[in-house]
Amino acid sequence: MEAGPAAAGAHVKLVDARNGTILFERKEVSRSHEGGVPTNPISAAIQLVQSALKLREIELIRASDDLVRALLKGVPTPPPGEARRPPAFAHVLSDGAGRLLKIGDVVTVIALGQPGVIGSFDVQPMAKNLALEETGEGVYVGRYTVKPGDNATDAFVVARLADGAGRTSEREDVLGRFHVDTVPPETPKGLSVSLKEKTLQLSWGRGTEPDLAAYRVYRSGSALTGFALVATPATPVFSDALEGIAYYRVAAVDKAGNESAPSPPVALPLLASPLKGTVTSEKYLVPAHSPYTVQGSLTVDGGATLTILPGVVVRFEPGSDGIIVKDGTLVARGSPGQRITFTSGSERPRPGDFSAAVVIRAKAGQTSALEEVVMEHAGVALRIESGGAEVLRAEVARNLQSGVEVGGTGVLKLAESRIVGQPSGSGVTIQGFGRAVLRGNHISGNGWAVVNYSGNQVDARENWWGTGAPPDGLFVGDVDRRSPLASGPRPK
């Protein structure tokens, strides 16, 4: 058996890509010298085995290996470290250290290193391969803006400088750890507005987020537009001066500064004229909507409170039954310069134009309050059938029958008021199981001063009856009128 030798050859040229200089060039051929005619039986047997194992393939591999070894012997070696050195990279730093970032906040990254290379940075774990721009020789600057959905409790910056051959240097801003929070709190719920001592009181439900920082209260004269920030309370309450009609919205803010969507606008729950029907929740009458007109009757029920603010005028159409407090309270507190007026709606008002201004039929323990009010031209200005009423510095005048009537189980406390000008009736009438305490009032010019048909004594001490020694005929029933005053409250 005979076979030729195996051979492998190559032509290698090594060129400096920077200037085109040929650094190394070689042609090489390597041959395998195995094979030939066997000279004895043993050699023939070995050759037969080699043929079975594809001798030529084995010899080709051997020749190729020899070729590579020969080529490598002549390849030049570059200066130590020069060919594989990555770009010089001195420092990287950012202004994020210790910050708590929200949507729209910016982190600035600065890297110092080899000029003329390519810079990039990552904000782990949220953003990768952001560009660094070389703004000066070897000074690279980049910026990351927080986007919705970016959230991390331990974010940091990693920057890279890379040359044209792909060699890269990388540095981490080890001291620049920061937090990113783009999730706002929930919108505050249950916002309500009420009036307390002539001050608006806002309240809403407290948020449950652990990073909740404060609330933002916005106010506007319109329910739709023009809301401006007026306060940033840390607790879910806010007080504001009562100045006209105001609408409010509230938003929650977390420690990162993320702000929730605002609550729906709310204002004092106002009633609009004409007044009629039934009120079952807190309502207000305000000067901005005054005067109001009552048609038929307006009933306060369901434990509600109707509050009338200073300066309001309430007019009653002829024949109206008035404001009826069935289950709840009426709070009508005026001021010396802004009294609340209950009067006739007729063009030519006269006593008895309507049945009553206010009728109290409330539950035991429910006490209405009237202060600095004028009540005129009714059949009876104030009637209390159950529940109670406290009247202070009122002017009750020019009514047809009585100024004030107390019947059933009603309770009256009347102080520092003028009850005058009911010539056909009495200043105060008490019937049934009614009770009354009168102090410091001017009660005169009525058909009778006090008429008591109840089984309880009327405490009417220390009042002015228009004279220091009023005649007994001005009083009916058991009326304690000791210690009369020398004068009474003056007209206002």
Q: What is the DSSP string of 164-179?
A: TT--EEEEE-TT--EE
Sign for the CA dihedral angle at 170, 130, 145, 136 comes to positive
**Cα 464 from chain centroid?**
56
Q: Write the DSSP symbol of residue 104.
A: T
Q: Is the dihedral of CA 90, 95, 99, 104 positive or negative?
A: negative
Residues near 21 by Cβ (< 8 Å), separated by ≥ 6?
Answer: 15
Select the CATH number that applies to the domain covering 89-180 from these four: 3.30.450.20, 2.60.120.200, 2.60.40.10, 2.30.40.10.
2.60.40.10
Strand partners, 247: 220, 267
| Cβ atoms within 10 Å of 394's Cβ, excluding its own | 30
In the beta sheet, which residues pair with residue 113?
89
Domain boundaries, the chain: 7-72, 89-180, 192-267, 275-480
Residue 32's pLDDT is 57
Q: Residue 341's closest CA among 382, 385, 363, 310? A: 310
**What is the widest separation between alpha-carbon atoms in the chain?**
169
Q: Which has the closest alpha carbon to 188: 263, 259, 265, 253?
A: 263
pTM (2 d.p.): 0.65
The pLDDT value given to residue 69: 66
Q: Which fold is adopted by the domain 192-267?
A: Immunoglobulin-like (2.60.40)
Q: What one-character-per-residue DSSP string does 208-269 give?
A: --TTEEEEEEEEESSSSS--EEEE--SSSEEEEE--S--EEEEEEEETT--BPPPPPPEE--
What local confidence, expressed as pLDDT, does residue 457 receive?
Answer: 97
pLDDT of the residue at 396: 98
Domains 89-180 and 192-267 are alike in CATH topology: yes
What was the pLDDT predicted at 50?
44
Instruction: Kindly give the confidence (pLDDT) of every residue in the chain, 492 residues in length, as a single tens digit, with 9 standing for 90 and above.
Output: 344 566 666 676 767 666 777 766 777 776 655 544 444 443 444 344 344 444 555 566 566 666 666 766 666 665 555 557 899 999 999 999 999 999 999 999 999 999 999 999 999 999 999 999 999 999 999 999 999 999 999 999 999 999 998 999 999 998 999 999 999 999 999 999 988 877 899 999 999 999 999 999 999 999 999 999 999 999 999 999 887 789 999 999 999 999 999 999 999 899 999 999 999 999 999 998 999 999 999 999 999 999 999 999 999 999 999 999 999 999 999 999 999 999 999 999 999 999 999 999 999 999 999 999 999 999 999 999 999 999 999 999 999 999 999 999 999 999 999 999 999 999 999 999 999 999 999 999 999 999 999 999 999 999 999 988 889 999 999 999 999 998 766 555
